[in-house]
Amino acid sequence: MSELIFGGFAFLIPLIPIIFAFITIFIGKFVDKKAHGNILTLIALGASLILTIFVSGEVIIRLLFLNAQVEDLLYYDVLEWFHVGSFHLDIGILLDPLAAVVSLMVALVSFLVGVYSRSYMAHDGSPRYYAEINLFAAAMLGLCLSPNMIQLFLFWEIMGVCSYLLIGYFYDKEVVPEGQPHPASAAKKAFLTTKVGDVFLFVGIILLYVEAHTFDFIEIREMLEKGTLHIDPMLFVLIALLIFGGAVGKSAQFPLHVWLPDAMAGPTTVSCLIHSATMVKAGIFLVARSYFVFEHANEEALLVVALIGGITAIMAGTIALVKTDIKGILAYSTISQLGYMTIGLGVGGMAVAVFHIINHGIFKALLFLSAGSVIHGSGTQDIREMGGLREKMPHTWKVMLIGSLSLAGIGNGFFSKDAIILHALHHSGFSTLQEQLITLIWLSSVITAFLTAFYIFRLWFVVFPGTNRLPSHHIHESDHWMTVPLWTLAIVSLVLASYFTVGLFLPELSFEHHLVDWLQGYGHALDFNWGVGLFSIILAILGILLAYLIYYPQDDARVSFPKGEPSFNFEVTEPDAIVKLQGRFRSVTRAIKSTLVGRCIQRVLEKGYYIDDFYLALVYFVDSKYCAAMNWIERNIFDAAVRFTGRVGYELCGLSKWWDDHVIDGLVRLTAKASLALCGLAKATDERVIDHGIIRNSAKGVMKTGGYLRRIQTGVVENYALYTLLGAISLILIAIIVVGVVPL
């Protein structure tokens, strides 16, 4: 039995939001009419957060400060859901350090999104929105606490449905900004794209069950550790990659990443939940939860994971360089950071990936909610229409600066990102093909670190300094319902950064090292490398400095975005030395962008490497070519076969009709005639033989016999005596003849 005091309350963490989701949808508009039932969401998510603080906080505190053993704090409680024959399925709670740290981050962000929504969704909210937010958060919390694959897959699919509903929340919107997808289309795209990964995951789960005969995580792990589960190595690799296929879809990894940028069509609060706390983190958590499968599979499985992560990180990072939609930049940033987590899973064990899940969840929630505040205060999502918001939004620019620094690698994000880069470097080399590939992955992570710092501060420098480029917009700061969650996340980010910094000098407090121990030894924790850390900081500073030199406008600068120009136009009244230096960098940038190669690169990045176009072309090919071929086959083969069959059937019907008319009906008519003849014969027999012959003649004979007998009865006694004597003599003669006394 677990030593946890609050472990028995863990089942309430997802259950309360689920219950309140249904309560909100039915009575939310009556309980909290002005805020569309937001108060019910705050109660549900607040209660869930408090329970998570007690449940997960107890696990973390005991492990961190009381040196408790992981196995002593494992809370595992299941009930039989159903069984059919020898098959049974349980449902319950698995609380371990992995579930504790991730669920705590999820509960915190979800509650703050609920608070933030009270103001942000004041005009567009509805009980349906808050019910779906509750269910969305509950699904991720339930997924974190799932003890087996089937329960995890159930919550996994609930999240998919919630994301579809929330991304398409504005499904009835008639007009959308240029370049943005319609919410209904974006929702369908997200749902269908992630379903591709879900199919892989489901097949992987079934194959694993066929081999292990259980869905339970602990049971499968123990069988692998004891060596009692024997699976063909190639099949084991296939199972691992199929499970990872589910993560590729859910966590928007190449090539199934295309749904996540379009998911920005939903409310910004939904984008925050998807990117920081729920949807995209579910795929990384899946691989972390089932990491024993990857650990016991061949190294090729983890190498594939790391390669996909490296490709995704640098691809999304480069696309973010040219985006002008504030949410679009953050969307590609999320894809890139998810690539970092996937690299961590592939090269350093799951500890560093989980480490980055926590950090990224905090600062990306801060960035998205800050972006929502910018959109709410400026009335636009296009950064080219912003500028000069620093004076009008004093809270937003500060908290977004903190989030931008964290994302760039200066803040709490530095520690987990640096750990991933360090682990990739540790596994790199040139002696084998695997080491060479990991070297390329490490190079990808390094380049992406520089790009991340550049594009996030490109956003910040264009949005906040300078002067407003659309004076018609009434810019204003958000109210306390929005700024309080922003400052809460900013303070949490700063506290984490401070704690991680202390861990550099006091290794016994190092969060990464504790994670490795908590996660029962998966991966390994490398000692902090000051050289690699300094290198990461320099990369971040160089990225920020380059963004400053190209995009930072002085107070008297006029910035314009003329169509057809390769970059921004800056005009400064009195340029100083810094402005002149900026002018040189901008001139070089404009010159590079003006070349044929520069324009091609710009176009490729704007089109997202034409991956969406490739999918559209593939769909068009299937629709126009494949479907046309199928149509030809249908018309010329199947329809011809049907027509031939119909013709044969028609001829057979004609033959059947002739057979019916001439044979069957002939027999019927012949039978009828024979029946009529027999009936006539029977009638003649009845009338002439029976009636006139037998019956009438019998009657006449009886009458004649009676007449003869009547003559015998004369009344003379002597005649009667004579008849009696003759009768007796006749009887004696008959008896003698019968018994054979006198032979004839």
Nearest to 160 by CA among 300, 263, 89, 79: 263
**What is the pLDDT, as a whole number, of residue 563?**
54
Per DSSP bridges, beta strands 557-560 and 87-95 are unpaired
* Residue 97 preceded by cis peptide, ω within 30: no
Residues 725, 595 share a domain: no
CB-based contact 585:550 (threshold 8 Å): yes
Residues 581, 679 share a domain: no
Write out the two tokens for 522.
């998966």
Write out the two tokens for 578.
């810094």
Give the number of other Cβ atoms within 10 Å of residue 113's Cβ.
30
**What is the pLDDT, as a whole number, of residue 576?**
61
Residues 6+ apart with CB under 8 A from 492: 108, 362
What burial class does residue 573 get, using C-beta atoms within 10 Å of its C-beta: 0-12 exposed, 13-18 middle, 19+ buried? exposed
Task: Please tell me the distance from the alpha carbon of residue 50 to that of residue 110, in angstroms, as a whole number.
Answer: 12
**645 part of a folded domain:** yes
| Residue 191 Cα distances to 185, 238, 242, 279, angstroms | 10, 25, 19, 12
Q: Mean pLDDT of all residues in the chain?
A: 87
Residues 18, 92 share a domain: yes
Residues 665, 568 share a domain: no
**522 part of a folded domain:** no
Nearest to 414 by CA among 512, 328, 481, 327: 512
Residues 625, 601 share a domain: no
pLDDT tens for each residue of 520-548: 555 556 777 889 899 999 999 999 999 99
**What is the pLDDT, as a whole number, of residue 559?**
64
Range in 80-89, 439-448, 689-698 the model is least confident about: 689-698
CB-based contact 593:599 (threshold 8 Å): yes
Q: What element of type H or E holds 474? A: none
pTM for the complete prediction?
Answer: 0.84
Residues 91, 29 share a domain: yes
Write out the two tokens for 529.
């490398």
Residues 626, 597 share a domain: no
**What is the pLDDT, as a whole number, of residue 1?**
41
Mean pLDDT of 199-222: 94
Task: Please tell me the distance from the alpha carbon of residue 332 to that of residue 321, in angstroms, as a whole number.
Answer: 9
The 3-state secondary structure of 496-530, one letter per residue: HHHHHHHHHHCHHHCHHHHHHHHCCCCCCCCCCCH
Give the number of other Cβ atoms within 10 Å of residue 289's Cβ.
22
**548 part of a folded domain:** no
Mean pLDDT of 705-734: 78
Number of domains in the chain: 3
Domain-ending residue, one of 131, 147, 163: 147
CB-based contact 554:572 (threshold 8 Å): yes
Domain-ending residue, one of 100, 126, 147: 147
Residues 119, 83 share a domain: yes
| Residue 179 Cα distances to 101, 247, 328, angstroms | 38, 28, 11
Residues 131, 112 share a domain: yes
pLDDT of 278 > 80? The answer is yes
Domain-ending residue, one of 125, 147, 169: 147
**125 part of a folded domain:** yes
| 98 vs 715, residue with greater confidence | 98
Residues 26, 140 share a domain: yes
What are the respective helix, strand and coil percentages of the chain, to the nearest 5? 75, 5, 20
Domain around 123: 1-147
**711 part of a folded domain:** no
**276 part of a folded domain:** no
pLDDT tens for each residue of 578-615: 777 777 777 787 778 888 888 899 899 989 999 999 99
